[in-house]
Structure 1
């Protein structure tokens, strides 16, 4: 880790730099707020009928999944929700899918997208795309979040796994991304997710900024995409929510691996298993045994790596434990029954 210099002059310089950064950020947010308000005002003056929407949560943290719900029968042809930062840079995107309606209820369409863990705090906007010109733009504020940093030394074997060119490793990576970016039509899970192990001991957290120290003296950086549970080899690992197993096999980097589809574009991943106890195509419910924890692949010791992906974006699993991913009652209450 980099050690801070205690020199008073250096501290003064850092203080001034921090003040300048805060000032510039405030000016940037004010300019963006003006643009959002101006655009919304123009739509209202033109007599446009905006799409009614619900967004949960309204002010997310980096790494948090955001659910957008709209009236499926009055969606103005909207196909996708796209998150942009205050500079107009696209951060993430997800397609809408239609939920079954109970008798007498509105048909809802929903999209789930994730604020990237690298997103800067401040104003942002979700644009409904694929419809008419008068579709909604949803302003929101991305809250500030701090992530931990850590260094991980790798021995010769693990250094080779991470750095050595390998056609098989490349093919496995391409297969993985093809799955994670696939947006199907099946809806298996609507409620809260459950932790995949009973232990609460964590050895790695979502969004950790990691430095890998290779045995050859070189290094590389990465962002930890999931949660690591420090559990002994052979610990039962269960499905976090209802879904369909779309991958259950050994991979060079992640060892014995299981991937479960829960919603269109949403997947849970379980890495470094000692043994797989399910098969591709199997349907699961929360709590079903899918494997035993281990230390296979690129692993420095026995643990379970649990990860959530939404339209390919790594997503904080804790956010899905604390609230249902698709709360129909909350969405209907906001857009009107």
Structure 2
């Protein structure tokens, strides 16, 4: 597919696109150039040859990678091979321009000589202000959060292994997410800068990685999208916890439940009940903590509720407009 220079207002309802023009043999690459910290960078690649693997990095001005990820195939759409990359932008990133590097390898999977391509672009991460708050903990919760316990480390490592697992064929949900609770008061927002004030007078700073919904204990919690249950167990800090896998590298998390209605390995539909709101683990009152991770990075969960994660009708529009401009 020849490289075309123009702006898309199509894929994922993005505001703009960047196209690589280093070589005519390179694939079409489409993504939004300006994002807020905490957003998700969604990249479409239309390779002109079979791809075996697609990787990407976002690097700061010193050349240090701040985000790494892998792409997955969406198969052929309108006769064109289509790949997708989802990269989470951490909420602590500085406002600046970052380099985007995408590398694709191809050939061996199709029995051809090894070939590949490298794309070099940039994105602008905008500043976003987050709320600061203090949370006062009693002696019991202070001890729970601050006391060293090897089980907490084991649980954290186990969870991290899950959230950084990439299954290229795990495509369960492509539409927008639904909120796990409706008409619920929010007691915490994504990106809040929290200072935990311990009972002994010391304190610790933490970035809140999800959204908290304060509702009565026992309120049913629904899956935000279709997916596979990859964790359903009690954890010391987060209490009764559930993690769903929706797409390669994309997971949703539900903490502090009073009970679990699903088991690891189950497949759930969007809106299916996972459990009930509770106060288990490190919680000052009944609430649900809802979180979304992309390749291990916590991103703003609401960014997935406004539009389809993978909008194939817009992908088709891009393909048809490209063909029209090329005169094919």
TM-score, normalised on structure 1?
0.82
* Corresponding residue for residue 31 of structure 1: none
Q: Is the 8 A contact 1:238 1:289 kept in 2?
A: yes
Structure 2 unaligned segments of length 5 or more: list them: 1-19, 106-114, 324-328
Q: Does the 8 A contact of 2:292 with 2:301 survive in 1?
A: yes
Shift of 1:78: 5.5
Q: Deviations over 1:210-257 (max 9, x none)?
A: 111111111111100000001110111000001000111111000000
Aligned to 1:109: 83
| Structure with the bigger percentage of strand | 2
8 A Cα contact 1:127 1:137, kept in partner: yes
The match for 1:314 is: 298
The offset of 1:331, in angstroms, is 3.5
Q: What residue number does 1:51 align with?
A: 27
> Which position in structure 2 is the counterpart of 1:238?
222
Which residue of 149, 161, 170 corresponds with 1:166?
149
Runs of 4+ in 1 over 4 A off after TM superposition: 75-78, 130-134
Residue 91 (1) aligns with residue 66 (2): yes
Q: Distance in 1 between matches of 2:173 and 2:257?
A: 24
* Structure in which a larger fraction of residues adopt helix: 1
Deviation at 1:115, TM superposition (A): 1.1
Aligned position for 2:237: 253
Q: Which moved more, 1:225-234 or 1:195-204?
A: 195-204
Question: What's the offset of the Cα at 1:264?
Answer: 0.8
- Shift in CA distance, 294/273, structure 1 to aligned 2, threshold 3 Å: same
Are the aligned partners of 2:104 and 2:117 in contact in 1 as well (CA < 8 Å)?
Answer: no
Partner of 1:25: none
Once the two structures are superposed, the pairs formed by residues 174-323 of structure 1 within 5 Å of their partners are 174-185=157-168, 186-323=170-307
Deviation at 1:295, TM superposition (A): 0.7
Alignment partners' CA distance in 1, 2:226 and 2:51: 31
Q: How far apart, CA to CA, are the structure 1 residues paired with 2:75 and 2:227?
A: 17
Structure 1: give runs of 5+ residues left out of the alignment: 1-39
Q: 1:87 deviation in Å?
A: 2.9
- Conservation of the 8 A alpha-carbon contact between 1:199 and 1:231: no
Distance in 2, Cα, partners of 1:129 & 1:161: 44
**Distance change in 2, residues 1:199/1:193 (3 Å):** same
RMSD: 2.0
Deviation of 1:302 after TM superposition, in Å, equals 0.7
For 2:94, the equivalent position in structure 1 comes to 120
2:121 matches 1:138: yes
Cα deviation 1:97-140 (Å, max 9, x = unaligned): 111335x4312111101111011112122110354685212222
| Residues paired across the two proteins, number | 293
